[in-house]
Structure 1
Amino acid sequence: MSIANVREYFRQYNKENDVIEFETSSATVELAAKAVGTEEARIAKTLSFMTSEGPILIVTAGDTKIDNKSYKAQFSCKAKMLTMEEVENLVGHKVGGVCPFAIKDGVDVYLDNSMKRFESVFPAAGSSNSAIELTCEELEKFSQNFKCWVDVCVVR
């Protein structure tokens, strides 16, 4: 159902046919990189957190992890990831297909600078076997409720 919502969301940009659906799982960075045929770093993983302002998504390069000190400086709270149930209820996608497209109202989206080193990246598209290739400029344009670029990750 969620991939259908993402395709519908992209229809307004005439990009619905750019959503790629795989026969195998792309639910993790490793699986997504294999499905797409690219390096893990170019997979744009979407992480879900709760802040005092509500749920947020941070989209970051696949080879990074959240730097707690930078996160706290940016969002004025400790990084608290949403549970699997909270992700689906608050964001609108199941874990493995979380993306910044066709999400519920009130979920702010932040993009991490770690992706800017690539010409294009591959975020999920609403299911555990989907992706879409976008430039960072397109990712910013198409991300629903986009707030700003942040620097809250370090390369693993």
Structure 2
Amino acid sequence: MAQATRATKMLEQAGIAFSLHSYDYDPSADSIGRAAAEAIGADPGQVFKTLMVLADGKPACVIAPSSGEVSMKRAAAALGVKSAAMMKPAEAERLTGYKVGGISPFGQMKRVPVVIDETAILWDAIFINGGQRGLQVRLAAQDAAQALGATLADISA
């Protein structure tokens, strides 16, 4: 597995400290995030999933704990729009340049607004997809937010 991805290159260029954690990706898992958490020995609340959404029809990125669900109503409010809905997988892949299951908020083809669930700051570090199926980056939530220009908000259902 390649350890250098657009995501890791972006973090390196931003001078952000992170560590890489690879695992065997299982596309048939009920929850990719929970499977990742189990594989790397982390709490599912500490492993964050990257979801691509359409916020009033415009692309945005929502990062939330794999242990829970995202409230699209709260995500929309955090993004300052009226409504948000999940983006179709093919559209998310085209927009980000990553494959579903390996979508990272870092190093996407086009920069979009990002909101991170506020529970991220409860952890000394969180795990976020590193831009490849079976690869997680571990970093401080504040560093992730800074690198992405993200808003922290309560977006849990």
The TM-score with structure 2 as length reference comes to 0.82
AA aligned opposite 2:90: E
Asked if the contact 1:3/1:127 (under 8 Å) is kept, the reply is no
Residue identity (%): 20
Match of 2:100 among 90, 95, 98: 95
CA RMSD across the alignment: 2.5
- The answer on 1:151 being equivalent to 2:150 is no
1:41-95 deviations in Å (ceiling 9; x for gaps): 1101111101236210011122221224323433433321011100111122111
Q: From the two aligned structures, give the one with the greater helix fraction.
A: 1
1:16–1:148 CA distance, 2 compared to 1 (3 A): closer
Matched AA of 2:44: E
1:9 maps to 10
Shift of 1:118: 1.6
- 1:109 aligned residue (75, 94, 114): 114
Q: Which segments of 5 or more consecutive residues in structure 2 lack a partner in the other structure? A: none
Aligned partner of 2:124 in structure 1 is 119
Superimposed CA distance per residue, residues 113-146 of structure 1 (whole angstroms, 9 cap, x where no aligned partner)? 1222222110010011100111111211232xx2
Q: What does 1:8-47 correspond to in 2, within 5 Å?
A: 8-13=9-14, 18-22=19-23, 24-25=24-25, 28-47=32-51
* Number of positions where the alignment pairs a residue of Structure 1 with one of Structure 2: 151
